[in-house]
Amino acid sequence: MGGNELDFFCDRMLGKLAKKLRLLGFDTLYFSEIQEEEILRRIGSRIFLTRDKELYIKATRFGMRTIYVEDDNWRAQLRKLILKLPIIENMKPFTRCIECNELLVKATPEEVKGKVPEYVYKTTDEFKVCPKCGRVYWKGSHLEWIGKDMEKLVGRWSLE
């Protein structure tokens, strides 16, 4: 538990939102198959996001920081989170693996040769790798995932 104000735990139905939060650099736990008791046991000091009204009530009763998510698409979900929480001020894009939530480490072009498309290898200097799954990231890949509409949503998009 990092004690960070903006660490998240996404409920089972919020897989896409979880990936976007990781993309923005937030420590986000998500498991597609997990029992309710296990979720409640693992939330800790994280902000729990759920679309399940009963679970929302239960977690709130246990004193957990819980947000009930009304929308069923990630864009609307994220937009509302941005309105509710200081997401933009605290985001650190291009720092975390969207699949395993692991912090990325820098890699040289030589280290990722053969693992990224040839044109990317030739035109990109800065790569990062997930130490857990080996997935390779570069700025272009993050911009692709975030998408044009998302770019607008996030506003100033800094990749420094």
| Nearer residue to Zn ion within complex by CB, 64 or 116 | 116
Cβ atoms 63, 22 nearer than 8 A = no
Kindly state whether residue 41 participates in binding Zn ion, applying the rule CB under 5 A: no
d(CA 139, CA 130): 14
| Nearer residue to Zn ion within complex by CB, 58 or 115 | 115
Question: Residue 141 CB, nearest distance to Zn ion (Å)?
Answer: 13
Work out the number of other CB atoms within 10 angstroms of the CB of residue 113. Answer: 11
Dihedral of the alpha carbons of 66, 154, 89, 53, in degrees to the nearest 10 = 0
Site residues (CB under 5 A) for Zn ion, limited to 73-132: 97, 99-100, 102, 130, 132
Cβ atoms 156, 91 nearer than 8 A = no
Question: Residue 144 CB, nearest distance to Zn ion (Å)?
Answer: 17
Find the binder of Zn ion among 57, 76, 133, 159 (CB under 5 A): 133
Binding site for Zn ion (CB under 5 A): 97, 99-100, 102, 130, 132-133, 135
